C-alpha cells in the first residue's frame, strides 16, 4: 500500500527523490494527450492482448503522473522514477484517493513483473481493471490540472 508512506512534496525533495524543473505548459499538455492516446490503445488491444492493454493503461497513468509533477514544477530525480511518481501523486492528492493510488502502485509492480518475468499472465479482468483505474486517475489529474493551472488549455 503506497499510502502508508507519509511523504510530502518537501520530504521527497529533501530526500533527493524529486528535483525542481521549470513548468512547461506544452510538455504538460503533450503528456496528458499521450495518456489519453494510451488509454485508447489499451481499450483497442483488450480483445487481442491482455498484457499489452495492461501495459498501455499503466503507461497512460505514468504519462499523466509526469504531467502532474511537471505542473507543480518537479521531475523524478533518481533510480526508481516510476515509484517516485506514485509517491508524488500520493503526497499531493492524499488519503482521499488512497485506494486509487494503491491500485496504481499495484499496477506498477505487476507491470515490472511483466517486463522481467514474462511467464506471469494477465487476465482480461486484470486488464479491464487497469484500464478503469487509469481512466479514473487520469480524469482526477486532468481536473486538478485545469483547476490549478488556468493557463492550460487541452486541445484534444
Q: How far is CA 137 from CA 16, 48, 61, 68, in A?
A: 26, 24, 7, 11
Residue 3 binned pLDDT confidence (cut-offs 50, 70, 90):
very low
Distance CA 57, CA 43 (A): 8
Q: Please provide the average confidence, as pLDDT, over all residues in the chain.
A: 89
pTM over 0.95: no
Q: Is the pLDDT of residue 7 over 90?
A: no
* DSSP helix/strand/coil, 75: strand
pLDDT of residue 154: 66
Mean pLDDT of 114-119: 82
Helix axes 124-148, 50-71, angle to 10 degrees: 20
In terms of pLDDT, which residue wins out, 110 or 65? 65
CATH code for 21-148?
A: 1.20.120.330
Tell me the pLDDT tens digit for each residue of 15-54: 889 999 999 989 999 999 999 999 999 999 999 999 999 9
Q: Give how far the C-alpha of residue 138 lies from the chain's centroid of Cα atoms, to the nearest Å.
A: 7
Amino acid at each position: 500500500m503506497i499510502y502508508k508512506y507519509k511523504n510530502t512534496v518537501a520530504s521527497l525533495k529533501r530526500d533527493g527523490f524529486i528535483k525542481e524543473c521549470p513548468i512547461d505548459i506544452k510538455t504538460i499538455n503533450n503528456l496528458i494527450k499521450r495518456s489519453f492516446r494510451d488509454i485508447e490503445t489499451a481499450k483497442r488491444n483488450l480483445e487481442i492482448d491482455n498484457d499489452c492493454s495492461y501495459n498501455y493503461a499503466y503507461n497512460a497513468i505514468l504519462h499523466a503522473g509526469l504531467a502532474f509533477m511537471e505542473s507543480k514544477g518537479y521531475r523524478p530525480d533518481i533510480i526508481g522514477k516510476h515509484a517516485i511518481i506514485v509517491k508524488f501523486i500520493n503526497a499531493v492528492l492524499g488519503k482521499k484517493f488512497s485506494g486509487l493510488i494503491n491500485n496504481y502502485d499495484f499496477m506498477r509492480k505487476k507491470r515490472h513483473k511483466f517486463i522481467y518475468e514474462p511467464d506471469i499472465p494477465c487476465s482480461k479482468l486484470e486488464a479491464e481493471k487497469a484500464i478503469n483505474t487509469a481512466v479514473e486517475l487520469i480524469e482526477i489529474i486532468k481536473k486538478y490540472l485545469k483547476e490549478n493551472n488556468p493557463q492550460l488549455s487541452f486541445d484534444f
